[in-house]
Amino acid sequence: MIDFADVAMRLFENMYYLVSVILFVIGFHTMLTHSNLIKKVIGMNIMDTAIFLFFVSTGYVQGGVAPIIEPGVEQAYINPLPTALILTGIVVAVSVTAFALSLVVKIYEHYGTLDAEEIMRIRSTES
């Protein structure tokens, strides 16, 4: 028999992971099911953000602060490595988004629509 209070407690303790997984699924769903191209790009961004949240929260220490070491102060510091990596990840995500948006602009120029199904229809009537 599953103890629901226990499960709820553990989920609450791992709230960051839970939220990031939910966000990941939302982003993935948006990306795959919406036919609007801009919404696909937004979905991709939500997905990336979820992963970044997940990665950053793996390095969090309860009660820790940013690791700027001042002489004479004893404190718990968070793990700086995931934060530094995710900064790189954000940069990469920004450049992918910029590239995707520029492609969307080009697609709109060529087809006059942002709807993926409409584009499929135009292509099938052409060939």
Partner 1 sequence: MEDLIVRMVSRIVVPFIQVYGFYVILHGHLTPGGSFSGGAILGSSMILFALAFNLERGAKKLSHETSTIVECAGAGWFAILGLVGIYMGQNFLTNKEAGFYMGAPGDLVSSGAIVLITLGLGLKVASTVVTLFYSLIEVEGDAHD
Partner 2 sequence: MTFINVIHAHSTVLLIVSFLLFSFLMPILERWKNSWCATMAVAAHVLAFVFIGNLSWRVFTEGTIHYELGGWSPPWGIEFVVDYLALFMLITISTVSFLILIFGTVDLTHELKPKVLGLYYTLYLLLVGAMMGLAVTNDFFNMFVFMEIAAISACGIISVKSDRECVEASFKYLMLSAVGTGCVLLSVALLYMIGGHLNFAFAAVAIQDVAHIYPNNILVALALFSVGFIVKAALFPLHVWLPDAHSSAPSPSSAILSGLVIKIYTVVYLKLLYKVFPIELFDLLPVFDMILILSALSIFFGSIFAIVQEDIKRMLAFSSIAQIGYVFLGIGLANSTGLTGGLLHIFNHAMMKSMLFLSAGAIIYCTGIRKIDDLKGIGLKMPVVMGAFTIGAMAMVGIPTTNGFISKLYLALGTLDANKHFYLAIILISSFLNCLYYFPIVINAFFGESEEEDGEEEIQVKKLPLRMSVPLIILGAGCMIFGIFPKYILVIIERAVEMIL
- Site residues (vs partner 1, CB under 8 A): 66, 68, 87, 90-91, 98, 101-102, 105-106, 109
CA 17 to chain centre: 13
- Tell the smallest beta-carbon distance from residue 4 to partner 2 (Å): 20
Alpha-carbon distance of 21 to 34, in angstroms, equals 20
Among 19, 42, 78, 100, binds partner 2 (CB under 8 A): 100
Q: Does 30 bind partner 2 (CB under 8 A)?
A: no
Tokens matching residue 9: 């407690």
The length of the chain in residues reads 127
Burial class (CB in 10 A: 0-12, 13-18, 19+), 48: buried
**List of residues contacting partner 2 (CB under 8 A):** 24, 28, 31, 37, 40, 44, 47-48, 51, 54-55, 58, 81-82, 85, 88-89, 92, 95-96, 99-100, 103-104, 106-107, 110-111, 119, 123
